[in-house]
Amino acid sequence: MPKRTGDELNRESKRPKREEPSSKLFKDLTQKRYAIDLLTTSSTSSESGYISGQISMKWPPLLKYRVMIESPPRETGVERFEIEFSSRCAEALRSAGVEFKRKHVMYLSLKGAVLVEKKGGASMPILLKYAEDVAFEILPNGLDDGFKIDTFSRQEPKEPSEDAPESQIDWFLTPRPQETSRAEVAINGGDLMGIDEESTLSTSPTDKPTSVLRSTIAKCPSHIPKPLLNIGNSLATIHPRQPPSAPNHISSSCIARPTGPALVNAFHPPGPSKSRENPSAGNDSSLGLPETLRPESRMSFTEHKSAVGGAHPPRHSSSDRYKTHRASNISLEHSPSSKIPDGKSAATEVVLPPHRSPFKLPPIYRLPNICDDHASTSKLADGEQGETMEYLTRVPPVGSVFSRRSHSPKVLNQCTVAAESDPERILNKKQRKNLTRREKRKAKRLPPPDGVPSVHAAVVTLDPAEPIPPMHTQRSHLIDHTIAVTAIPQHPQQSSALRSGPASVIQPQHAPTYRLPQGFTSLSNVTRNNTLHSVIGVVTSITSPSHVRGRDWSSSLRIVDQSNCIEAFPTPKEGFRVNCFTKKYPKWLPAATHGDIVILHNIKTQEYNGEVTAVGYHDRMQWAVYNPVTGTIGHGDSAGAPECTGLDDGFGLQFSPFYQQATPAVVAHCVTLDDWWRSVKQNRENDMGTVHNISGATSRRTSSGRQHKLISDISSEDTGTYFDFTVELIHRDLPTSEGKPGSLYVTDYTPLSGGHVYQQDWCPSKLADHILVINLWEQARNYAENMVSGVIYSLRSVRVVTSQVGYREAKMWEAKVSRPDDADPHLEALLERRKEFGSLEEVLDSNITLIQDGKDKEHITCIVELLFKQDAEPVIYVSDYSCHPKLPAITEPWAKGLDGRVLEVLLDDEQAAILPRLVVGQHYQILHLRFQQSVTKQQFRGRIGGASRLIRPIGLQSSSKAAEWREKLIERKNSLKRPTETPAETPAEAPTEREPQISPTTGVSQSSDTPLVNNGHVGISIKEAISSESSKFTIRAKVIDFFPFRLVDAFVRTCSECKTILSEKRKCSGCNDVDGQHIRIDCVLRVLISDGNDELKVSVSGKAPLLAGLTPVILHDDPQTLSLLSERLKPLLNNLVEVHDAILEEQVIEPTGHMGTFVVERWENQEQTVYGLVDCQI
């Protein structure tokens, strides 16, 4: 046998390269699936196999990834699959930086996919959804490298259990080194000398320090209780290397006690003296721990002078502050060198190590029962009761003080009611980190008041009356416990001096007097970006639900509470802004009004233009409104909207926007908030001073306590302030749709500085700058329906605001409207000012113009005659008998001979209501008539709208100027030679005129004797038609050619989106129209007509009689339609079809044809003049 070389032995000794399961799957052609396989298989998520194809489309990756792949089918056609990656799967792709590109080939495993079959013959009948895991491969394409994604492999396999059969255990796997502590080694009877001491020093501060056994690998006993999850990062231990002679105890460095009143806290509970002499008796057994796992703690006290008169001891280095036992068994020991003299107080700083301890305590450890006289309490900073946090910390002995180095101020305060309200409350790592950051920012922003120490933690000192019990035992029952710090409300008038006693606490002066329910945040603390909060506040402003086409319903509101409100005066933008959104139902937005208490759950903060706001998304925010009358929490009138629905178009989880988890604490807080807001409003009204007007008009308080104001006295400093006004109503505008505010236009005959200058017809020119607009909401809007123009009203509680464009306006919510008394001095002053203006009747015909002078998007006032009106549609046809080049020719009997002189006017809004009262033949004055130009036909029409009276009849008693314009209109009318006004001819000489008849077979007007008459004109030449100002005219000519060259190409596919002609494609690649929604079939037939001198190309399309009844189809695919079209065009084209066929066969045929009458219309299209065939007669 030949001897093998070393390289061969090495190759054989190496393990074979592990191949991904997905790679093996994609190489097996028998596992490939097609659309028919998926549609006929009942399984969805458990489907095996894979699909492959080319990525033809992708969507922007927002919350999920969506792509479309086209797979080559088995038989004919193209199979398309829509793929959607969401939830955990999308997060994995986003973290891996996956970017899908078009034309990349993709192999996708069906494992973990959920199949959704689309209905209605969609072009993508199958949708595959991946929410958890996915496996796919992208092949290389050009310069782009390929890659593989398999999230199934990230799940670690479970370790075999002890009861697993030996056949399922791989005994030849390389064992993973296990970490064993000294306590575990001692339990299993191992040798403590076999532990590697260096391993504890090499651990990072964030890792758990471990001890590695050199000789044996000890198995952790199964009876050790599970530790708390939330103390891993809060209570940790540093293991510095110690010399062999180092004592096994914690050396606590001494600090000076801060000046000020001291807090007394007896550490030991009251009881017989036996428990003090032997604290360990009867305690270890109750904990349920093995003897070797019971914690020990030795703590030394360092003597120092009293903080009142003694000097501060020197600071020690940080290395001296943290010393711990190597076995992590901590006990308390009274060192002989740290005696405390009688009558003197001592303080010891208990410094908690900053990283994780290897010894974890079970959750059964709690604070022993301590009498109320010795309980340590502390008020929560800034009055906020956030989510409670449970920390397992060492309780300091008598005379100890916590320092900032052990915990931040808020960390100790957040330990509140951990054992009282929710002892099992556990926060994860992210919640603890966010809480610590938020409290650090608050500590920097709110410095402690004068006289209060900078240390915000609970301070515990020795009561001189009670001696310190001796500690002689090596083991102590003083194990780690939870410190409970209870928030104690403080009366605002209480003295800043703290009481001396067992229950005294240090309370900041800025702490509010309210307490938030658990899980809610005060508005002043909602400062972090991209975080979720739940808040309760008073609504200071709210907008009605609005909807933009293609977007969600939205509403914006501002809310305040005790933390972000300036109680002395309101600010221009008072409150915290929250923008709320919903998809379908506007009733799912908060149904609150001004002054209501609203509860918003799960709103997300963001920063916009330097201001921290919040967004309530349609699939996350929940809301409720507190009713102070009934004392209940509700959600308003749903108006048929469902209470909940499934997300993701009904395929997702059920979601309801209504907050239903209101606890009694939430209701109690709403009651407190309502009482507080009522007092704030009352104080603001009482604190309003009197403003003296230097111009002579006096401003005095009304009976309500608010200041009465003149319009001329409004200034920028009054923005956001409430006033009373005595005004005369000039005009009101109340929209018919719900959710929009109404408007009152009022005046007290004083000018408004910074207001809008009105030039509407309802506003006299003398009052153009004397009008104040008041936007009405809620009850005020409903009451305004009873108000009448020209009447003087007294308006109370009107708020002065500034509009978005900078004009001074006002808002009003409550219906505080009344008629002033005759003896009211404000009414008398208004009547005196009104006398100075005299008569307000306006002459509205000062700017009358002719229709021929109208321009696009311009408003004119004109004198017209009503020619025709359509009762079914709000449209009238008027004329002042002046000619405009862009007015269309009307083919109606009443408009003959008036080409370019008839204007079509559309009546919008309330103008349509006066249509029945208009009389044909009457002269009218139309105000604010707006000209509009058609985009396609380049023609003009008029439009008027609004609630004002814009159409006014002109009688014999009208003003002299209006009568003058009417006389000129009659002169222009008489100068025109209309067919209806020509002298009557004798019956023998009068020509017989008859309407052209359309042939049902050919679609061409047939008449051998009488030419086609249009608008009173017989055919004109092409040259005259081109130079004519009219857009429609009649031409005498004949057809000499047509396009396209073959009649079978007269209909083509076009894209209505990008305006391109598609050859044989059924989809437009230019605009990614995969489904062919923008594809349509148009007629591109054009004829060339000639009158003997000039030629003109005319398009045959649209509503031409030639195409009446024909379905637009591709003539290559429909010979029957092609034959029908040829028969219709035969009288028009004569033998031109045969002429074109002969040219293709290199033959010559002379064309024939007859003169005919063509009605042609002209319009502008993309800077080109287009002529279209309206009708014809051969």
**Is the CB of residue 585 less than 8 Å from the CB of residue 641?**
yes
Per-residue pLDDT tens over the stretch 908-918: 877 887 787 78
Q: What is the mean pLDDT of residues 158-175?
A: 51
Up-side HSE of residue 939: CA atoms within 13 Å toward CB? 21
Report how far residue 814's alpha carbon sits from residue 167's, in angstroms, rounded to the nearest whole number.
Answer: 82
Q: What pLDDT shows up at residue 176?
A: 55
Per-residue confidence at 879, pLDDT binned at 50, 70, 90?
Answer: very high
Q: What pLDDT shows up at residue 1076?
A: 66
Q: What pLDDT shows up at residue 711?
A: 93
Q: What is the mean pLDDT of residues 797-821?
A: 89
Q: What pLDDT shows up at residue 920?
A: 85
Q: What pLDDT shows up at residue 43?
A: 43
Judge whether residue 413 has pLDDT over 50.
Answer: no
The two beta strands, 808-812 and 1156-1165, are: unpaired
Judge whether residue 304 has pLDDT over 50.
Answer: no
For 972, left (φ over 0), alpha (ψ -120 to 50), or beta? alpha
Q: What pLDDT shows up at residue 233?
A: 37
Q: Can you name the residues that pair with 1037 across neighbouring β-strands?
A: 1156
Judge whether residue 388 has pLDDT over 50.
Answer: no
Q: Name which residue leads in pLDDT, 3 or 309.
A: 3
CA distances from 106 to 67, 74, 941, 948 (A): 11, 18, 56, 65
Per-residue pLDDT tens over the stretch 456-474: 434 333 344 444 444 333 3
Tell me which DSSP letter residue 468 carries.
P
CA distances from 628 to 538, 622, 632 (A): 12, 20, 7
Judge whether residue 901 has pLDDT over 70.
Answer: yes
Tokens (6 digits) for 189: 């009877």
The two beta strands, 79-85 and 126-130, are: parallel
**Is the CB of residue 542 less than 8 Å from the CB of residue 589?**
no
Of 907, 906, 928, 902, the closest CA to residue 848 belongs to 928
Which of the residue ranges 71-85, 738-752, 1064-1078, 1161-1175 would you say has the lowest mean pLDDT? 1064-1078
Judge whether residue 987 has pLDDT over 80.
Answer: no
Q: What pLDDT shows up at residue 925?
A: 87
Judge whether residue 499 has pLDDT over 90.
Answer: no
**Is the CB of residue 266 less than 8 Å from the CB of residue 374?**
yes
The two beta strands, 940-944 and 951-953, are: unpaired
Report how far residue 618's alpha carbon sits from residue 1095's, in angstroms, rounded to the nearest whole number.
Answer: 63
Three-class secondary structure of residue 866 per DSSP: strand
Per-residue confidence at 83, pLDDT binned at 50, 70, 90?
Answer: very high
Report how far residue 614's alpha carbon sits from residue 622's, in angstroms, rounded to the nearest whole number.
Answer: 13
List for the chain the helix, strand, coil content (%; round to 5): 20, 25, 55
Per-residue pLDDT tens over the stretch 708-746: 999 999 988 888 889 999 999 988 887 766 667 889 999
Per-residue confidence at 638, pLDDT binned at 50, 70, 90?
Answer: confident
pTM of the model: 0.28
Report how far residue 481's alpha carbon sits from residue 477's, in angstroms, rounded to the nearest whole number.
Answer: 11
The amino acid at residue 612 is V
Q: What pLDDT shows up at residue 688?
A: 62
Q: Mean pLDDT of all residues in the chain? A: 68
Q: Name which residue leads in pLDDT, 822 or 18.
A: 822
Best mean pLDDT range from 117-131, 1058-1072, 1121-1135: 1121-1135
Q: Which domains does the chain have, with CATH numbers?
A: 21-154 (2.40.50.140), 179-221 (no CATH), 225-270+291-489 (no CATH), 523-658 (2.40.50.140), 696-835 (2.40.50.140), 851-977 (2.40.50.140), 997-1050+1085-1177 (2.40.50.200)
Q: Name which residue leads in pLDDT, 126 or 194.
A: 126
- E strands, 628-678, in order: 632-634, 645-646, 654-655
Per-residue confidence at 1081, pLDDT binned at 50, 70, 90?
Answer: confident
Q: What is the mean pLDDT of residues 250-262?
A: 39
Q: What is the DSSP string of 263-295?
A: BB---SPS--HHHHHSTTTTTGGGGT--GGGS-
Of 996, 1003, 1014, 1029, the closest CA to residue 1159 belongs to 1014
Judge whether residue 394 has pLDDT over 50.
Answer: no
Tokens (6 digits) for 512: 């509010």
Which of the residue ranges 335-344, 659-668, 767-776, 1140-1149 would you say has the lowest mean pLDDT? 335-344
Three-class secondary structure of residue 754 per DSSP: coil
Q: What is the mean pLDDT of residues 787-798?
A: 88
Q: Name which residue leads in pLDDT, 1058 or 336.
A: 1058
Q: What is the mean pLDDT of residues 613-641?
A: 86
Judge whether residue 169 has pLDDT over 60.
Answer: no
* Cα torsion angle, 172, 173, 174, 175, sign: negative
Q: In what order do the strands lie in the sheet with 1060-1062?
A: 1060-1062, 1051-1055, 1079-1083
Q: What pLDDT shows up at residue 1072?
A: 67
Helix (H) or strand (E) holding 681: helix 664-686
Q: What is the mean pLDDT of residues 968-976?
A: 86
Judge whether residue 900 has pLDDT over 50.
Answer: yes
Report how far residue 674's alpha carbon sits from residue 685's, in angstroms, rounded to the nearest whole number.
Answer: 17
Report how far residue 742's alpha carbon sits from residue 774's, in angstroms, rounded to the nearest whole number.
Answer: 8
Main-chain phi, psi angles of 195, to 5 degrees: -85, 135
Q: What pLDDT shows up at residue 44?
A: 43
**Is the CB of residue 645 less than 8 Å from the CB of residue 655?**
yes
